[in-house]
A and B are shown apart, each in its own frame.
Chain A
Amino acid sequence: MKKLLVFAFFFGTLLANWEEKIDINGYFNFEFEQQIGGDEGTLADEHGSFDADMFNIVFNIRPTDRVRVAADLTWEHGPQTEIEKGNVGSEYAFAEYTVNNSLRVRGGKMFTAFGIYNELHTAKPTTIVVKEPNPTNKIYFLAKNGTVEQTMLYPRWASGVALLGDSYVGNMPFDYIIQMTNGDLDYANQDENQYDKDDNDGKALGGRIRADVTSDLQVGFSFYRDRLNHYKKISGDWEKVANKDVLTFGTQMIWHVTDRFRFEAEYVNGSVDIDASSDKQKFNRWGLQVLPSFLITDKLNLFLQLTAGDPNSNIDKDRVYSYAPGINYELDNNVYIKSDIYTVLSKENNSLLKGKDSSEFRAVLAVGF
């Protein structure tokens, strides 16, 4: 009985004025994709498919004036666990303590803070484009040679700690974040859980700094490095055979040239270095997106998404290019209809697409709330 009373007291204290302490937001995406031209056997959807892409709830809970607990819980692609469909997960779940404006300390599962899109890639109401660019965010859609070329430039998520904050250089505001985490798992071995237990002693280090050079021009720089275990299956079991070092740098720019014309660009360059005695590999890869957009009206935005990527600098003629003219229409407050024609062109030595091209019609309904 005493334990029950103590529990009720603390629970009641936490929830006193709960409406001031808990904020709930979220977003919803519904998509359609249909290949409209090009070769068979590409990544384009040859049948035309509706995708119950995402329903996310974002919680912000502030139990004290300096502590915030944040979580983004996701239900992707129509999950039905009974029949093993879809995905349920947490994009992030962390606690953050504010020391002052310039220093906050965070711990938990986080998005890897790199570039423009990784922290926003699920929240489609936040981006102009239909989908984030593959060369800078999903290198595994550009390459497939066993598992090495698909090694992420940086992992989507990470479990660890971070320092972050806002400050100034002179009158120029900037924000920064530095993350130390368990890092990623080798693409080949996903039997472990890197958000629970690291599979080696090395910790990944990454970070980003963004500066508002003017009120219309923001530039940024990101970096990420990690040492992964490189696995191979030997007699049915995953065995570590080497270390795999990942090092990635990125630069980004968002420029509001006028009130209606916006220009965005991001370039990412990285390396993979495997020190196996029998399977030594080292190569660079890079990805690029350029995105001009123009507000025709306050609601209607036209854009042209251009990307290019080279998944392995040691292989000639393996690059992948894409272009996607599209529209973004704000149907209602934070409700967007987006659509583009996404054309992918690959060179003949590309390990995944093998010189094939495709064009795809894509449309998204994205709602933020």
Chain B
Amino acid sequence: MRICIRLIVALTLVFTISYANEQGFLVVSEDVEQNSFSKKELTEIFLGKKLNWKDGRRVHIGYSIEKEPFLQEFISENLGINYRRFKKYWIKKVFAGYGVAPKIFRSNKEVLEFISSTEGAVVFTPEILLKEGIKIAEISEK
């Protein structure tokens, strides 16, 4: 029975990681209590409309450009605009004085460093090595 349970858990984990690898990961720092985000919430976060978590701490956002097609898919699927418009949106927002741009990372190592050292962080990345201090969040359809 225990072997069956372990086998099921292992297969589930493999399936989850394999599935996530097809689309990238939404990772959050360990102190973020929220484990699942709706598309509406992701839009608010990655368009800089949600500035604070429920406990008042600042939301820090970022994304990796290491495998850009993954990022383009993430933005298109969840924010409803293409990557070009997303970049234009942020350059206008920053220069007009309405916000602080997301951090941009060029490697998995940079993502890990940021997530590990920053409270309230949420980052999209094409791949991630799970370690202490990092959680993978789910994206719900609603």
State which of A56, A98, A110 has its C-beta within 8 Å of the C-beta of B51.
A98
- Which partner residue on chain A sits nearest B44 by CB separation? A101
Q: Is the CB of A23 within 8 A of B97?
A: no
Q: Is the CB of A368 within 8 A of B100?
A: no
Q: Is the CB of B58 within 8 A of A65?
A: yes
Q: Is the CB of A256 within 8 A of B118?
A: no
Interface range on chain A: under 10, 10 to 19, 20 to 34, or 35 or more?
A: 35 or more
Q: Is the CB of A126 within 8 A of B100?
A: no
Q: Are A126 and B88 also in contact (CB < 8 A) when A62-B58, A120-B96 are? A: yes
Max chain A Cβ within 10 angstroms of own Cβ: one of B51, B81, B87: B51
Let me know if A70 is at the binding interface, CB within 8 A.
yes
B11 to chain A, nearest CB (A): 38
B93 to chain A, nearest CB (A): 9
State which of B51, B91, B96 has its C-beta within 8 Å of the C-beta of A334.
B91
Q: Are A27 and B95 also in contact (CB < 8 A) when A20-B118, A62-B100, A65-B56 are? A: yes
Interface range on chain B: under 10, 10 to 19, 20 to 34, or 35 or more?
A: 20 to 34
Q: Is the CB of B94 within 8 A of A25?
A: yes
Max chain B Cβ within 10 angstroms of own Cβ: one of A56, A175, A368: A368
Let me know if B106 is at the binding interface, CB within 8 A.
no
Contact mask B34-46 → A, CB, 8 Å, 1/0?
0000000001100
Let me know if B92 is at the binding interface, CB within 8 A.
yes
Q: Is the CB of A25 within 8 A of B101?
A: yes
A340 to chain B, nearest CB (A): 19
Let me know if B85 is at the binding interface, CB within 8 A.
yes
B92 to chain A, nearest CB (A): 5
Max chain B Cβ within 10 angstroms of own Cβ: one of A58, A101, A126: A126
B104 to chain A, nearest CB (A): 10
Given A123-B96, A126-B91, 9 other A-B contacts at CB below 8 A? A20-B60, A62-B58, A66-B52, A72-B97, A98-B52, A101-B50, A125-B95, A126-B96, A298-B84
Q: List 19 A-B contacts (CB under 8 A).
A: A20-B60, A25-B95, A58-B94, A58-B95, A60-B100, A62-B58, A65-B57, A70-B97, A101-B50, A110-B97, A111-B97, A119-B96, A120-B92, A125-B91, A126-B95, A166-B44, A173-B43, A215-B80, A368-B95
